């Protein structure tokens, strides 16, 4: 795999979880969430891209267990479009089914309760999305489902 950072987002109505890889592109590391607010979102995203300069972006794409798009899929597509205005790097929509469940389990196993971990869940879910993208990249050379606007 090519060395360099990758970034992932778990889009939510209130918070957007964020994760990045280390410089080698091997480990997915959760960061603090960013608020999903119209007035600051573009600036917050621009600051992340300026700081990390990722090779690509992975965005969790909500699907029903059946594999069909969910009600939230349109909001995520609009968010991906907003991200595409900030970066020229490829954007991939990654199936996010069960990532929040996995993040909750990981935090419970670490001894954190739901009130303590509420803010961490979104970024842990972003790290799970990024791990999925990294696994696809290891197998296929790049993640699946490139966003084309």
What local confidence, expressed as pLDDT, does residue 118 receive? 64
Q: For 72-81, how does the pLDDT look when each residue is reduced to its tens digit (9 = 90+)?
A: 899 999 999 9
pLDDT for 1 equals 87
**Residues of the chain below pLDDT 70:** 98-119
Question: For residue 92, which phi and psi values (nearest 5 degrees)?
Answer: -120, 135
pLDDT at 59: 98
pLDDT at position 79 is 98
Q: Where are the alpha helices (DSSP H) in the chain?
A: 41-52, 73-84, 99-109, 114-140
pLDDT in the model for residue 131: 94
As for how many domains the chain has, the answer is: 1
147: in domain = no
Q: Is residue 145 one of the residues assigned to a domain?
A: no
Q: Say if residues 10 and 96 touch (Cβ distance below 8 Å).
A: yes
Residue 2 lies in a domain: no
| 70 within some domain | yes
Indicate which CATH number applies to the domain containing 46.
3.30.420.140
User: What is the per-residue pLDDT for 99?
Assistant: 60
The residues near 82 (Cβ < 8 Å, ≥ 6 apart) are 41, 42, 45
Dihedral angle of Cα 59, 61, 62, 65, to the nearest 10 degrees: -130
Q: Which two tokens stand for residue 38?
A: 């119209």
pTM: 0.88
Q: How far apart are CA 32 and CA 2, in angstroms?
A: 25
- Domain assignment present for residue 56? The answer is yes
Give the range of the structural domain holding residue 12, as residue numbers without chain letter: 7-140
pLDDT given for residue 63 in this prediction: 83
User: Tokens 């990532």 — which residue?
Assistant: 99
Is 22 inside any structural domain? yes
Phi, psi of 6 (to 5 degrees): -125, 155
pLDDT in tens, 57-92: 999 998 887 878 888 899 999 999 999 999 999 999
């Amino acid at each position: 795999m090519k060395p360099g950072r990758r970034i992932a987002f778990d889009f939510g109505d209130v918070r957007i979880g964020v994760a990045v890889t280390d410089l080698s592109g091997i480990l997915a590391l959760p960061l603090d969430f960013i608020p999903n607010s119209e007035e600051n979102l573009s600036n917050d995203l621009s600051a992340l891209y300026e700081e990390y300069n990722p090779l690509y972006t992975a965005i969790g794409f909500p699907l029903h267990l059946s594999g069909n798009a969910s009600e939230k899929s349109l909001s995520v597509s609009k968010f991906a479009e907003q991200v595409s205005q900030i970066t020229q790097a490829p954007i991939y929509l990654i199936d996010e089914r069960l990532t929040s469940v996995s993040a909750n389990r990981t935090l419970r196993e670490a001894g954190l309760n739901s009130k303590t971990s509420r803010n961490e869940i979104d970024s842990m879910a972003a790290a799970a999305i990024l791990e999925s993208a990294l696994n696809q990249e290891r197998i296929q050379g790049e993640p699946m489902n490139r966003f084309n606007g």
